[in-house]
Structure 1
């Protein structure tokens, strides 16, 4: 249960030279801070406008279902992020981590209902890369994809066996729910299929960040995400015989896991469209 948290803890332990950490605690089943913690949080914000956020991690106690706790910790992260955004600097590869009850490491339940912020002080920003141990990116798998200025152009240039990456279809953390800002990309994909009756595809889901390529939970989530897109297309008139879906978990990363930055995570956490017939 606490394995993922241990991995994250070890990761931060490796790079925590000159990193700062602050915790904010929540009441039971709440995702907004109470008055005392909110005042503490606002004071921290006012004192850290020149600092830089590295990550925000949310966790819960072990009371309730794991699904409820996953959602609750995600809401806690979102609440804190909404207060910080625009007031404190944030790294472009900032990590938003929702652990749910997997982050429950204390026997005292109240100590597990929290959000943890890792950040750098202004005085340490000059040696930011050194502190974080940022190394040159290493490409571990070449993905044969078709590139173009629009999704339509990418499909026009594609042949059977090619893969097209759609990195603008985004899912909520640890969820198969698609974010509202993905609607444009979904609409483009739907339009391409409606304009080409011969086109048949396989929707492939990939997950980032989890070093266990055979992890069943990771694999299951990638399948559910691929099916979510499949369901959207079917519900909007695309025949089922033209569509397949499959999930690979984190077994086919573009970049070595754990990734070096947020961009590598984004490219690993992707949807690919395999052209079956066109």
Structure 2
């Protein structure tokens, strides 16, 4: 069939929004500067807005971390009507120490800010013949992943079960391997598993915010999303447990691969093993 492919040129622009002392509400001037930075022509779209929040050196570390997050979310809330949640990714740094004792007021003024790194894509349509893509499990190639030799404590890591930044929604590229995982679990009914959700970008022990729900449970939500998909396609729910691991275990491969789930073998149902032997 005839479809449209897109030739895209990607560019990145940086801008900053500044705040008064101990404030996170956007001023009219700040809103105008954001609008100007995000102005587009008819063939340009914004694919990602990465927000980094800072505070000056006054106040406790925990207070400044929260304030930095509130500054970030004041901008996201302002932009929400125009963009999907998947457009945003964010990290709250919090306090920025003084460099020296000169120009202290100016340093603090510069540190009360949110930096926006905006990724633009300029698209030029090119008609061509191409196949229809799908974001469902139907028709995906399937491979047997859970071999009979797995033991309790074994861990399976999938580099291509990946999520959108700040969300519990799987990227479409994850569905083929999810199909293989589910079909293999249906074949090897003896395994009980724990689905472990992970996030990127934050320090260990900190819960990430799920931009789909607003709740601070992103790693748990990712694990629950995978379980929900498995149950939907026939895996018994009592074989599956979930846990959110926050950002405690990085892959060392970067943020993209840290937004993931891992599967751990937690049990082997001996009655299933015996039944298989008898057959």
Q: TM-score, normalised by structure 2?
A: 0.50
Give 1 or 2 for the bigger CA radius of gyration: 2
The structure that is helix-richer by fraction is 1
Q: Which has the higher strand share?
A: 2
